A and B are shown apart, each in its own frame.
Chain A
């Protein structure tokens, strides 16, 4: 008796809970939702989801309804009643075996059809992007345009993108919930997933995540996908193909810049190869920072333990020398165009200054975060290979203090250099 009263009281509570959830769902925006797909693959999946949801809801209502009904209708009112001792009902049991089987047929047929459609080879003329998972960042190579970048890709709307997934260490998984489902990046395997972003979608940024547990910082292995118009994409590609260059106007290397040679600057006599970029490349497209939605800008606070004087002004030219000199950044990082900076272990930094985030989407790409990252990356992200570079900094992996290392001024110089690599 008590139980059934409670059940009756519980019913409105359950309804209230569902309503509260629904309200909560309307009150917020969901930047990573799978319910508003922006590609053909996303919509194929969404079609199946809706069908599953339709049948699932029917089954849920019928089964839970029947359960609540029998529990209330056949509750014990007296201890003296013996119910009929039935043992079963063959026709009934056959019926409730066949009905689910029929429902499953309605799910299985479109499922198999969708599997074969979406796993066919990608159409010719697709944009190929080779994706390499690393602990804990993403390397992206555009073989048709011959450049490499990290943790941030641009794709043109309306053109099929064929992602070729591989891993350089453990298993990772590539997921942009708004665009497509997941596909694993597995060492010794090559995987594909392809989809066509809608041509009428917004020019904006989508968050991507690693969804296969891959060790310490699996939770901080993000990336960004920027969907742009085809002309913007073409322009962006010319920038990415250019060597790493300083974007400030006085760049001495820009050819045909009138009167540029008159400046007495250009002390960089030993500069290995003067970065050269065409004016077109200098002016090439990147998504303006104002158009980057808030959800794509990381809010992760940096640890207070790393002190840095944010007022220090850095010199990009000094930073460039440090990059291939005392900083030894080039041991792991590449800056295209600089023959001394061809490291392959860490992310390609050729145009790092144009990226939204650093550390695979963990921190926003600005001076306070970048300087602390250079000073002590290992304190900012668990398990990273990037060494602790700041002088006197505690390295949580070796559990020792770095005796030598970069001064804050040197870090500021490096930051100025990296930020200039637009």
Chain B
């Protein structure tokens, strides 16, 4: 099948040719039933990719409505109530339904390939994670179509979100929906930690692990440590709303700051959960397109771990205006500043990676360079509000909106787009169109800056966040107008990407196993990979087996690239397909929706979930070994 031959010459020495290799891309015949029952990490990763992109478009549409409303003073395109639902869902959608799952798409597809494994540790749990995410995402997203969307902000501060001040079912969907999505993230977290610890190929020591897998590893620990906190916070709120407990009840002496502390002990690590995968992707893409190993690999790993640790010690910098007192303000201000050090080191090391290399500007590498450039701006403004007195002017103004969009859009989304251009060939066996990709990049880069840079000004000129409109004559019109134009430009850029994505998936040029001349394990196997990934499990002797590997690496890669055999022919055991994870996820959603529909449904849903789990746990994962 593949004619690209890996010989003793390192791949990156070969000229870059957009694959003269396979004329056709052979994929398995896929049926709907096949997708519903799949336990293959690659198919699940693909499902994550499509679903996350769908929700990215939903969140983007919400953003466009926000910008249309704020494009001029006193506009009433949507009412205050609707606007509040839209900004709540924009944040919730982008964080929980777009960026995190887009990262999950890469975790699923790429981690087993990077560490030389045939699947994740728990394939059925992996399917369960996806279905819980999909159903939970729909559960939290659909109500807005009926005017009952969550409207308490993505941060859901009490007492506004308690029954006393939000009597409707809007917040119910949010509380339950986030609880459901947390289950998905936690299951995936344990799954990937187990996978990375246990399923690495021989010779793949931790310090030979690609940095993307390393960052994913850090992220999963952050998930399993941070999500239980939001789970507890949401559980209290759920009990308050549905069963009359008084955890947050002000009249009963409850403290609204309890929620804020719990929320941000989750919420700040969450920021790093969103950004570290993009750090990882950039750390894969830049070396490949510079033909040079990552500069300062150990420091990149350690700084990622350090960011993970420090990320748990800075939460109260979201609360400098609540009046915590000078000691707490000082401590959290200084810890926040400290985080700039490992983050800065990463930026310098990326620049060091490009320096003295052979940098090739492709869609993937441009998005990653753009990520470094824009994330730097977000980092600098981040240091600006790490100083609590200065933050008193900045917090809850549009300056903050500018800051975190430079981090979340300029950082996470740009990095993830870089990852999509880079790994699209591995997902689908075809290359994305480079010309459209560069249009996508430049329009995104310009549109992003047009949208968010003026917000630094509107914020420091006094414009508060989360206002559905503003009056004329406040000095904010010009900046908001520019922001809105930028947002429309981003819509055009995204439309180009979507067109490119779907067109190239069907008719893009075939990629071959290693279209970029990259050095890591995932490029030693065909694109798209066969169901078993590796015909022979590789033995790893270096960080970039295709660049620096010994003869054994090269030989293994040759076999893996050229194997056209089926799993059966090779005697590789593949897990059964099963519908049970989907059923368990669906029944669990039914159980949760009983809180809104009627308590009898909780019992019905719980019984059905237990049955589905029983069926799942008593059926074998894979055929007996022969």
Q: Determine the main DSSP class of A at the interface with B.
A: mixed
Are B290's CB and A67's CB within 8 A? no
Interface residues as binary, B71-95 with A (CB distance below 8 Å gives 1, 0 otherwise): 0011000011101100000000000
The residues in A between 182 and 200 inclusive whose CB is less than 8 angstroms from any CB of B are 182-184, 186-189, 191-192
Q: Which of B182-190, B214-222, B389-397 contacts its partner?
A: B389-397
A17 to B390, CA, bound (A): 27
- Cross-chain contact of B392 among A45, A108, A165, A382 (Cβ < 8 A): A45
A383 within 8 A of B: yes
Are B354's CB and A74's CB within 8 A? yes
- With contacts A33-B460, A56-B380 taken as known, whether A211 is within 8 angstroms of B366 at the C-beta atoms is no
B473 within 8 A of A: yes
Report chain B residues within 8 Å CB of A294.
Answer: 473
- Cross-chain contact of B475 among A31, A48, A63, A86 (Cβ < 8 A): A31
Are B355's CB and A70's CB within 8 A? yes
A289 within 8 A of B: no
A307 within 8 A of B: no
Interface residues as binary, B226-257 with A (CB distance below 8 Å gives 1, 0 otherwise): 00000000000000000000000010011111
Report chain A residues within 8 Å CB of B563.
Answer: none
The residues in A between 159 and 179 inclusive whose CB is less than 8 angstroms from any CB of B are 165, 169-171, 173, 175, 177-178
A307 to B256, CA, bound (A): 42
B330 within 8 A of A: yes
Are A170's CB and B160's CB within 8 A? yes
B293 within 8 A of A: yes
- With contacts A32-B462, A33-B462 taken as known, whether A87 is within 8 angstroms of B290 at the C-beta atoms is no
Q: Which of A3, A17, A180 neighbours the largest number of chain B CB atoms within 10 Å of its CB?
A: A3
A92 within 8 A of B: yes
A292 within 8 A of B: no
Task: Look across to chain A and name the residue whose beta carbon is closest to the beta carbon of B337.
Answer: A104
B470 within 8 A of A: yes
Q: Smallest distance from the beta carbon of B409 to chain A beta carbons, Å?
A: 17
Q: Smallest distance from the beta carbon of A107 to chain B beta carbons, Å?
A: 6
A88 within 8 A of B: yes
Are A107's CB and B160's CB within 8 A? no
- With contacts A70-B354, A101-B341 taken as known, whether A52 is within 8 angstroms of B463 at the C-beta atoms is no
Interface residues as binary, B459-493 with A (CB distance below 8 Å gives 1, 0 otherwise): 01111111111111111001100100000000000
Report chain A residues within 8 Å CB of B470.
Answer: 219
Task: Look across to chain A and name the residue whose beta carbon is closest to the beta carbon of B350.
Answer: A67
Q: Smallest distance from the beta carbon of A68 to chain B beta carbons, Å?
A: 8
Q: Which of B108-116, B369-377, B528-536, B570-578 contacts its partner?
A: B369-377
The residues in B between 302 and 346 inclusive whose CB is less than 8 angstroms from any CB of A are 321-323, 325-326, 329-330, 333-334, 337-338, 340-341, 344-345
- With contacts A181-B392, A181-B393, A300-B74 taken as known, whether A32 is within 8 angstroms of B291 at the C-beta atoms is no
Q: Which of A182, A189, A210, A298 neighbours the largest number of chain B CB atoms within 10 Å of its CB?
A: A182
Report chain A residues within 8 Å CB of B388.
Answer: 111, 115
Report chain A residues within 8 Å CB of B449.
Answer: 17
A385 within 8 A of B: no
Q: Smallest distance from the beta carbon of B133 to chain A beta carbons, Å?
A: 27
- Cross-chain contact of B79 among A59, A89, A119, A382 (Cβ < 8 A): A382
Are B387's CB and A107's CB within 8 A? yes
Are B462's CB and A217's CB within 8 A? no
Report chain B residues within 8 Å CB of A59.
Answer: 376, 380
Are A183's CB and B392's CB within 8 A? yes
Q: How many residues of B contact A (CB 8 A)?
A: 111
Are A219's CB and B466's CB within 8 A? yes
CB<8 Å pairs between A and B, sample of 27: A3-B361, A10-B442, A21-B454, A30-B461, A30-B462, A31-B475, A33-B460, A34-B461, A45-B390, A56-B384, A60-B376, A76-B291, A83-B292, A86-B295, A92-B352, A101-B341, A111-B330, A111-B387, A112-B334, A165-B323, A171-B159, A173-B396, A191-B323, A213-B396, A215-B160, A218-B466, A294-B473
Q: A71-B359, A186-B256 are in contact. List 10 more A-B contacts (CB 8 A).
A: A13-B446, A25-B457, A32-B463, A52-B387, A56-B381, A85-B293, A116-B330, A118-B389, A219-B467, A299-B471
| B contact residues vs A (CB 8 Å cutoff) | 10, 12-13, 15-16, 73-74, 79-81, 83-84, 153, 157, 159-160, 165-166, 250, 253-257, 290-293, 295-299, 321-323, 325-326, 329-330, 333-334, 337-338, 340-341, 344-345, 347-349, 351-352, 354-361, 366, 369, 372-373, 376-377, 380-381, 383-384, 386-393, 395-397, 438, 442, 446, 449-450, 453-454, 457, 460-475, 478-479, 482, 547-548
| A contact residues vs B (CB 8 Å cutoff) | 1-4, 6, 10, 13, 17, 21, 24-25, 28-35, 44-45, 48-49, 52-53, 55-56, 59-60, 63-64, 66-67, 70-71, 73-76, 79-89, 92-93, 96-97, 100-101, 104, 107-108, 111-112, 114-116, 118-119, 135, 165, 169-171, 173, 175, 177-178, 180-184, 186-189, 191-192, 207, 209-220, 294-295, 298-301, 382-383
